[in-house]
A and B are shown apart, each in its own frame.
Chain A
Amino acid sequence: MMTLPPVEVLRPSSVAEAVEALQKHPGSRVLAGGTDIVPNLKYGMYDTQHLVALRGLSKELRYVRLQNDLHLGALCTIDQLAHDETIRRCAPALAEACSQVAGPQLRRMGTLGGNLCLDTRCVYINQSYFWRNALGFCLKKDGTVCHVVAGGQRCVAAASNDTAPVLLALGATIKIVSPRGERELPLRDFYLADGIHNTVLRPDELLTGIRLPKDAFAKRQGFAKLRTRAAIDFPSLNMAVALEIEKGTVKSVSLAVGALAARPALIKGLDDLNGQKADARLAEELARRAHKQCKPLTNIGVDPDWRRDVLPVLVRRMVLRAAATAAAAS
């Protein structure tokens, strides 16, 4: 079978200890549910010598708290979020997205923090060392060329986390702790597409939780995921919408799409839709704009032209579904 390269596993028992360990061991990586990092390590994708295991932080970081805003600890499991009553009430699209992550076993291991920090994925990188060597490697690891974009100099591996589009659309912020203290950051400023890192997290920083502002609860929310199979698969596309509707009229709308390139995309320039009626024409318009702004690539092994073709259909249906729901509890 595939073997794991030798790594030292550090087991801090608090957030403070964890970030200290990260600081002390440059190049170390965080191990939470392990559902992504373990196969990636076996694939030889990282040269990590140390893993900072977060199991000892479970008590500290596994909370769902409704205190004005909704506060979620980074170690909440995906399965927990899919079933949590408070989340189903305040952020039904997040519960929906979580219920569509991977399969039941992986949802029980995988965490919210892990999903938000998920490394980008590409058919040319998430493969064994043997395979990547036969390919001639790629610029993300061990190589110099991009096999997705001819002549590309920036890695375009795809953001493949299902929670990210929802939390982006809902305007969540994230909490980050380092030995220097704590900082809060809008999720929309978290992701990068510089081709090297996919988030702004520094090596000694740990994402410890998210905060969902309470105004999100009143929004009509929707999530949709395109995948070949009804379980296990990473998204071929995923998307989320948050609609603020007052008396049938749009007050604000936010639409995010993932599984395109390194960063989940917030569809730009939707402010002019405020004041329009929340009807089928709005859904069509959002679909049209998403189609214009989103260009799927061959980084995912499902035909990009077809993904682009169906994207507006999925957006339209999602928006109509969301608009038809009652506003979530405030």
Chain B
Amino acid sequence: MSIGDRFPKVDGPAKADGSGVYADDISFPRILHAKILRSPHANARIRKIDVSGASRYPGVVATLTGDELPVKYGVIPWTQDEQALATDHVRFVGDEVACVAALDERTAEEALALIEVDYEVLPAVLTPEDALAHPEIKVNERAKVGNITKHVNLQFGDVDAEVARATAIASQKYRYAGSTHVPIEPHCAVARADADGNLTVWSSTQIPHYVHRELSRVLGLSASKIRVIQPLLGGAFGGKSDPFALEFCVAKLALKTGRPVKILYTREEVFYAHRGRHPMNMDLTVALDRDGRIAAVDNKILIDGGAYASFGLVTAYYAGQLLTGPYRFGTYRFDSYRMYTNKPPCGPKRGHGSVQPRFAFEVALDEAAEKLGIDPIEVRRRNFIGEQVETVNGQKITSNGFLKCLELVEQASGWKERHGKLGPGRGLGVAGSMYISGTAYPVYPNEMPQSGILVKLDRSGRVTVFSGASDIGQGVNTLLCQIAAEELGCDPHEVTIVAADTDLTPVDLGAYSSRVTFMAGLAAREACQKLAAKLHAAGGSTFAEACQRAEAEEGAPLAAVGGYRTQKLGGDYRGGTIGASPAYSFTAHVAEVSVDEETGIWKVEKIWAAHDCGKALNPSLVEGQIEGSVYMGAAEAQMEEMVYDAKGLLFGPSLLDYRIPTSVDTPDLESYIVESADPNGPYGAKEAGEGPLHPAIPAIANAIHDACGIRIRELPFYPQRVLALLREKASGLRRQASGI
């Protein structure tokens, strides 16, 4: 069992039998439970906070307010605009204000009611349009101009000239609703301070390293005195990529009280922590020349960011930078504004920043191709950008298996025989996409490796891999076993993974931007290859014997390290490195839908998804990532939306009201793996965790068009929207028939 094998997930059995340890499973004698008081207002000044009532409540051990944690934090060093607990300004309903630690959760909750906060309620801005129109209502003081987190305007070539001479143009407005991640495990953190002043924080995070850094800054405690451990994680999907208030609160309270402290968010609090998909309004033009080649793409993007920056600076770039494959663009321009609004902060959700424009683009491409009478698959094939090429915005594409992806889904879906021919109420749609395998540059500028791996060999033949990488369910720990087995020639069952513990493992920047398997994988291969050379030289009839001989030869225990070093990549312009990746993955989907034209109720019958992951290090894991991604994309198309009332209160922050599809609402999925053998990736591998989400949404929209002739441009594709469009179409046809 090694590279390319279907090695079972190493964390699978413990997750299935309940023995796995998640953050909330961690407990200690004398542990305290804390709860956070949150703002009921979308925008308000805090005149005064009085916690004395709560302090006196029986069972309460400590209270905490923002003045004790005044330092602002955030993942992106240029936009650190968050405070663990507000001191003077709350910016959304759910913003954190104060914290109480008590003997049990109920007591802490009851004590919250005794905290008196004097608010001066201010008008709130709840849409990005309002945020632009009302710069005088300041959502977040960090914004230099009005409520703009980030404005990016980039142009590559003369877009206007190309649009002017194009043969077919699709120019429409698109709206992408915000959605959230819904990991089954809510956020949880536990902190314990030792007698010698060392602090340990267990957190359900996907970025232990950034939590480590930010805890140090905010607490004013040397990072060498802080240890961050990520236990088993019950899903993340980007929703655990920021440092959160609970980590600072448990840490500070543990230091304050000398007792261990835990916070477990309720589901409602997970909704307020959010960092989900940004709502985007897009004004997109796709222009084709008479041969159906993409002459120009022009996108104006207004991004609804919520109250804090999170990764928003990157979002503003990704919304434009990641669209330039798998098709060649003649010219390209995007102009994106990421706005602060008085709502829970948006951030990175699987397919960060690029899922929304991908939806708009793939629908527009279909529409423009239709005007030229070109088949949707043919137009995508004709515009294929190729391998070892540079995109219009200066991204270097190495391997590219997109054509193979298209071919697979074309055949599997019976496209040629079935597209356009399924009769009323049933249709097929296609879409493609591209995604990054990590970013060339780390989030904070430094020359150190982005991933580090330490491998130690025992005389028994046991291999221990110390990895800073976060296994968030994508399976990196399993892959590390396989890489060790591949390089060292050992049994992958004989590999122990010690992961995501800042005291024990080398730094890895975290599970985001689909970087983990790519970068930690390369680092692991490097470390293992160093040891393999020694084992090979030493010889031996068994693996253990080889370890013993090599150790004798070495005169010291056997260990080696490997690292992933950042490559210089990207376009030579401001922002040109954002979206620059050492390798890009490619995906194509065909979706089949049925539409009930009397009610607008529609259903995804099936999705065929082909994904070029370079090399499937473990096909079962890749298929799992493809299926999970397609599910998530289809879910956003079907029903997911963060809806707010007129005062900024999130409707139904529960899994009953915020619906995600159940297993019976999930379409048949068929996944296909394409292996284009990337020259940069470990064993040729590229990402598989985020890319396969993108085409699901536009493929469904295009299938709805094939089924009933309507173009739906707003997510989610609620049946009432479908019905309204069907009626609009019918009345248009009636008008035509009557000659009006």
Chain A residues close to B by CB (< 8 Å):
1-6, 103, 123, 126-128, 130-131, 133-135, 228-234, 301, 303, 305-306, 309-310, 313-314
Q: A1-B186, A123-B657, A303-B718 are in contact. Are A135 and B649 (CB under 8 A)?
A: yes
Chosen A-B contacts, 27 in total, with CB atoms closer than 8 Å, are: A1-B186, A1-B266, A2-B266, A3-B106, A3-B109, A4-B106, A5-B106, A127-B652, A128-B266, A128-B653, A131-B268, A133-B40, A134-B93, A134-B647, A229-B639, A229-B661, A229-B665, A230-B662, A230-B664, A231-B662, A234-B656, A303-B720, A305-B720, A306-B723, A309-B723, A310-B598, A313-B598
* Contact bitstring B655-698, A, C-beta under 8 A = 1, else 0: 01101011111000000000000000000000000000000000
Complex CA–CA separation, A181 to B566 (angstroms): 81
* Interface assignment of B139: CB less than 8 Å from any CB of chain A: no
* Interface assignment of B426: CB less than 8 Å from any CB of chain A: no
Complex CA–CA separation, A5 to B639 (angstroms): 33
A309 nearest CB neighbor, chain B only: B723
Interface residues of B in 711-734 (CB under 8 A from A): 718-720, 723
Complex CA–CA separation, A123 to B653 (angstroms): 10
* Interface assignment of B589: CB less than 8 Å from any CB of chain A: no
* Interface assignment of B91: CB less than 8 Å from any CB of chain A: no
Contact A1 B599, beta carbon cutoff 8 Å: no
Complex CA–CA separation, A307 to B159 (angstroms): 45
Complex CA–CA separation, A6 to B109 (angstroms): 13
Complex CA–CA separation, A171 to B24 (angstroms): 50
A316 nearest CB neighbor, chain B only: B598
Complex CA–CA separation, A4 to B110 (angstroms): 11
Taking CB atoms, residues of chain A closer than 8 Å to B93 are: 134
Taking CB atoms, residues of chain B closer than 8 Å to A230 are: 662, 664-665
Complex CA–CA separation, A233 to B652 (angstroms): 13
Taking CB atoms, residues of chain B closer than 8 Å to A126 are: 656
Nearest CB on A from B712, distance (A): 15
B722 nearest CB neighbor, chain A only: A306
Taking CB atoms, residues of chain B closer than 8 Å to A3 are: 105-106, 109
Chain B residues close to A by CB (< 8 Å):
38, 40-41, 93, 105-106, 109, 186, 264, 266-268, 598-601, 639, 643, 645, 647, 649, 651-654, 656-657, 659, 661-665, 718-720, 723
Taking CB atoms, residues of chain A closer than 8 Å to B652 are: 123, 127, 301
Contact B38 A232, beta carbon cutoff 8 Å: no
Contact A231 B41, beta carbon cutoff 8 Å: no
Taking CB atoms, residues of chain B closer than 8 Å to A301 are: 643, 651-652, 657
Taking CB atoms, residues of chain A closer than 8 Å to B639 are: 228-229
Nearest CB on A from B211, distance (A): 22
A2 nearest CB neighbor, chain B only: B266
Q: Among the listed A128, A131, A231, A306, which residue makes an inter-chain contact with B600, where contact means beta carbons less than 8 Å apart?
A: A306
Taking CB atoms, residues of chain B closer than 8 Å to A1 are: 105, 186, 264, 266
Complex CA–CA separation, A230 to B601 (angstroms): 12
Nearest CB on A from B128, distance (A): 22
Q: Which 9 pairs between the two chains have the least Cβ-Cβ distance?
A: A306-B720, A134-B40, A3-B106, A230-B664, A310-B599, A231-B662, A303-B720, A313-B598, A229-B665
Taking CB atoms, residues of chain A closer than 8 Å to B645 are: 135
Complex CA–CA separation, A126 to B654 (angstroms): 10
A129 nearest CB neighbor, chain B only: B113
Contact B662 A134, beta carbon cutoff 8 Å: no
Q: A309-B723, A310-B599 are in contact. Are A233 and B659 (CB under 8 A)?
A: yes
Contact A130 B268, beta carbon cutoff 8 Å: yes
B24 nearest CB neighbor, chain A only: A1
B33 nearest CB neighbor, chain A only: A3
Contact B651 A123, beta carbon cutoff 8 Å: yes
Q: A130-B40, A301-B652 are in contact. Are A103 and B720 (CB under 8 A)?
A: no
Q: A123-B652, A301-B652 are in contact. Are A232 and B662 (CB under 8 A)?
A: yes
Complex CA–CA separation, A228 to B659 (angstroms): 8
Taking CB atoms, residues of chain B closer than 8 Å to A310 are: 598-601, 719, 723
Taking CB atoms, residues of chain B closer than 8 Å to A233 are: 656, 659
A313 nearest CB neighbor, chain B only: B598
Nearest CB on A from B720, distance (A): 3
Beyond the given pairs A123-B657, A127-B653, 9 more chain A to chain B contacts, judged by CB atoms under 8 angstroms and listed by A's residue number, are A1-B264, A128-B653, A130-B40, A130-B268, A131-B653, A134-B93, A134-B647, A229-B661, A301-B651
Taking CB atoms, residues of chain A closer than 8 Å to B105 are: 1, 3
Taking CB atoms, residues of chain B closer than 8 Å to A6 are: 106
A314 nearest CB neighbor, chain B only: B599
Nearest CB on B from A284, distance (A): 13
In this complex, the member of A4, A123, A309, A313 whose beta carbon has the largest number of chain B beta carbons within 10 angstroms is: A309
Taking CB atoms, residues of chain B closer than 8 Å to A4 are: 106
In this complex, the member of A128, A131, A135, A313 whose beta carbon has the largest number of chain B beta carbons within 10 angstroms is: A131
Taking CB atoms, residues of chain A closer than 8 Å to B653 are: 127-128, 131
B188 nearest CB neighbor, chain A only: A1
Nearest CB on B from A247, distance (A): 31
Taking CB atoms, residues of chain B closer than 8 Å to A2 are: 266-268
Q: Among the listed B38, B264, B647, B662, which residue makes an inter-chain contact with A229, where contact means beta carbons less than 8 Å apart?
A: B662
Contact A231 B665, beta carbon cutoff 8 Å: yes
Complex CA–CA separation, A123 to B656 (angstroms): 10
Complex CA–CA separation, A3 to B268 (angstroms): 13
Complex CA–CA separation, A180 to B601 (angstroms): 51
Contact A232 B40, beta carbon cutoff 8 Å: no
Contact B719 A306, beta carbon cutoff 8 Å: yes
Nearest CB on A from B86, distance (A): 15
B105 nearest CB neighbor, chain A only: A3
Taking CB atoms, residues of chain A closer than 8 Å to B723 are: 306, 309-310
Taking CB atoms, residues of chain B closer than 8 Å to A5 are: 106
Taking CB atoms, residues of chain A closer than 8 Å to B665 are: 229-231
Taking CB atoms, residues of chain B closer than 8 Å to A306 are: 600, 718-720, 723
Taking CB atoms, residues of chain A closer than 8 Å to B656 are: 126, 232-234
Complex CA–CA separation, A214 to B503 (angstroms): 74
Complex CA–CA separation, A2 to B723 (angstroms): 39
Nearest CB on B from A288, distance (A): 15
Taking CB atoms, residues of chain A closer than 8 Å to B267 are: 2
